[in-house]
Amino acid sequence: MTTAGLWRALSPTETIQAVRESWIGYTVRATGRLDLDALATAYEAVWRAYPQLGARLETGADGFGFATSDARPELGVCDGDLDHPMTGVKLDQQRALSALNVVRDGDDDMSVCLLTHHSIADAHHSIEVLAALWSCYTDVVNGVPVELPRHPFPRSLEDLLAERGIHATAPAAGATSAPPAATGQPVPEPSTPARHVVQHRLTAAETSALAELGHREHVTVNGLLAGILLLVEAELRDLPFTDLMYRFTVNLRRHLTPPVGATEGTNVLGGAGFSATEDIEPDAVAIGRAVGTRLRAGLADGSIQRSLLDLMSRPAPDARPWNPSTAPVVVSMINWGLVPPLRTPDGLRLTNFRSASRIFREFTLLGGYVVNTFDGRTGIDLAWPEGDPELPGRIDCLRDHVSGVTRRL
């Protein structure tokens, strides 16, 4: 790796995203008049304000590094299916680590997708940038000068935890850490397909009912959704829900002292697993309470804060035999939480928000769930292999379980 233009080396938790070539998209559906020149100007403004957007990855024998890019912010525009917001976008982590893509269907309907490489930003980070983008766009359209303060390059999870006294659990004797290999990375093929995402969006009434039920039963909405998804997957797979492993991520920013700002770190996340025991009733409320108990316990003992550090310090996966047939069925959910109101000028309305992703080196073909709440409505995204014959039935089952829970008020 050359040192000219190099900002810093990637940490292990960032490197794994570089190896996978992971891109996550934050997509809004818009209706009305979209000024493409103003949007390009706004994107350039946030590109200058957040230097990670204009970085690139450099590779060498000593691993990955963030480096200065010669690329300029470009707005991609094409006509197509709004349910495929990454149509036409060209992604190359050796050139730039962000992109902005517009897909139009006629003159008044479009999707606008901000893409960030997962090595520079998680969802909470990227949604903050997305809000800045739409605020800048509104100012440009209204003739207001745009000059955002320049932010420092985000820090790694490892650095943020270390300065707070949090370190990985000491590995067992003889164990060696297994950072992913990082040499000889080819430029990705532009034909690599994006993940197929189908969204089940709750109505405003269902979203309110879910929150009211959680308040009444002393369980979080996140827990209720976990219970719903475990029951859905158990039903579809014809398995007891106690046979499933639930995996979820946790935004650590407000769980650290001092807390971490939205764009201060790249991926400020922890993870946890949960398996229901026989004494838990097969009910979304009961499961949700148990998930909440697991979350609080993991935060209290620090295991969730250390989880990614511990994962990176485990022995290499080929250090001992592993039989995939003995692995539990995993149900994963990532909850992006509440998407803040996004400013828009008169004549343009944002009607929905959803996820998108493209991972060039998938480690698994299994599907997963991404949840967000935008404009008073919760959306449950199913990121599943396109053409999966069980997907329509999975959506129907999810709809039935959501309706059953929200009718309990």
Given its phi and psi angles, is residue 29 left (phi above 0), alpha (psi -120 to 50 degrees) or beta?
A: beta
Residue 2 has pLDDT above 60, yes or no: no
pLDDT for residue 329 is more than 50: yes
Query: What's 16-61 look like in SS3?
Result: HHHHHCEEEEEEEEEEECCCHHHHHHHHHHHHHHCHHHHEEEEEEC
> What is the pLDDT at residue 363?
56
In a domain, 206, yes or no: yes
Confirm if 22 and 359 have CB atoms less than 8 A apart.
yes
Of the three residues 149, 177, 204, the one that is the final residue of a domain is 149
Confirm whether 66 is domain-assigned. yes
In a domain, 178, yes or no: no
Greatest mean pLDDT among 58-67, 186-195, 316-325 lies in 58-67
Question: Are residues 329 and 252 part of one domain?
Answer: yes
Same domain, 249 and 386: yes
How many domains is the chain built from?
Answer: 2
* Assigned domain for 84 exists: yes
Q: How far apart are CA 6 and CA 353, in angstroms?
A: 35
Q: Strand 368-374 and strand 329-338: pairing?
A: parallel
Q: What one-character DSSP code corresponds to residue 156?
A: P
Same domain, 132 and 215: no
- Other beta carbons within 10 Å of 49: 19
Q: What proportions of the chain, in percent to the nearest 5, are helix, strand and coil?
A: 35, 25, 40
* Residue 137 shares a structural domain with residue 208: no
Q: What is the pLDDT of residues 353-391, one digit of tens each?
A: 999 999 987 655 567 999 999 999 999 999 988 888 989
Looking at the domain assignment, is residue 281 inside a domain? yes
Confidence of residue 187 (pLDDT cuts 50, 70, 90): very low
pLDDT tier at 288, thresholds 50, 70, 90: very high
In the block, which residue shows the tokens 């909440």?
292
Residue 118's identity, in one-letter code, is H
pLDDT of residue 177: 46
Whole-number Å distance between alpha carbons of 209 and 405:
9
Residue 86: which CATH number? 3.30.559.10
Residues 303 and 374 in one domain: yes
- Give residue 314's pLDDT: 73
Q: What is the pTM of this model?
A: 0.92
**Tokens describing residue 386:** 């396109």
> What would the pLDDT profile of 69-126 be if each residue is shown by its tens digit?
999 999 999 999 999 999 999 999 999 999 999 999 999 999 999 999 999 999 999 9
The owner of tokens 């639930």 is: 246
184 or 376: which leads in pLDDT: 376
The answer to whether residue 168 sits within a structural domain is: no
pLDDT at 319: 40
Q: What is the CATH number of the domain that holds 379?
A: 3.30.559.30
Type and span of the H or E element at 232: helix 221-237
Per-residue pLDDT band at 351 (split at 50, 70, 90):
very high
Residue 65: closest CA among 108, 105, 111, 120: 120
Q: State which of 149, 173, 206 marks the end of a domain.
A: 149
Tell whether the model's pLDDT for residue 188 goes beyond 90: no
- For the chain, what is the radius of gyration of the CA atoms? 21
* Domain interval for residue 129: 6-149
Is the separation of the CB atoms in 143 and 35 below 8 Å?
no
Q: Tell me, yes or no, whether 202 and 138 share the same domain.
A: no
Residues 98, 210 within the same domain: no
Of 116, 149, 182, the last residue of a domain is 149
CA distance 49 to 37: 19
